[in-house]
Amino acid sequence: MSEVKGIISGNESRFRAALEHFQTEAAKLRTGRAHPSLVEDVMVEYYGSRTPIKQIASVTVPESRMLVIQPWDQSSLQAVADAIRSSDLGLNPADDGHIIRLSLPPLTEDRRKELVRTLNARMEDARVSVRNIREEIWKEILSLEKEGLIGEDEKFSGKDELQKEVDKWNAELESVRKRKEEEILTV
């Protein structure tokens, strides 16, 4: 059984990575307030390569519904504005030649529902990741049995342990999803 527990605990970092990725994706969804994570990962064409905004500019929140983006290289200002315009954020950047201002309009009920649908789709992607990790671990357990390193009883108790671990991570994902959904739906 210790081999099986070792395999499960050895993959904990992969489960955690799936959770952290979902948390990052959820943070990008816009609620009623401005937050730098909304635009930090928008890719900008910068000197021939695609670069996230957070690597070429500072993003600040001077007001609850406004973001200010100040590129460190003024020549990239237009590229940043174009990248935001072409992203799926639905924001119209206003630049004065030095900085870019993004005013966030209040969320409509339809937009809130659309954001919840997007959140749920990203949640499903995270669940698929967890399921894929589970399947890989299960294959490892089956190969241990095939090699004669564990018996059939250990295989099935390992399957139960694995399912408990998967349930724990799915509960974590659901907790993050619920918090974000409340945040989105709060007017």
Output the pLDDT for position 1. Answer: 54
CA 80 to chain CA centroid, Å, is 22
What CATH number does the domain containing 45 carry?
Answer: 3.30.1360.40
In this prediction, the residues of the chain whose per-residue pLDDT falls under 50 are none
Per-residue model confidence as pLDDT tens digits over 21-49: 999 888 877 666 778 888 888 899 988 89
Output the pLDDT for position 31. Answer: 67
Output the pLDDT for position 100. Answer: 92
| pTM flag (> 0.95) | no
**Do 22 and 37 fall into the same domain?**
no
Strands (E), 5-64: 43-46, 49-52, 57-63
- Report the distance separating Cα 16 and Cα 145, nearest Å: 27
Structural contact between residues 126 and 22, judged by C-beta atoms closer than 8 angstroms = yes
Give the count of beta carbons closer than 10 Å to the beta carbon of residue 77.
20
**Residue-range definition of the domain harbouring residue 47:** 33-103
End-to-end CA distance of the chain: 51
**Do 93 and 127 fall into the same domain?**
no
**Do 9 and 60 fall into the same domain?**
no
- Report the distance separating Cα 88 and Cα 102, nearest Å: 14
**Do 177 and 121 fall into the same domain?**
yes
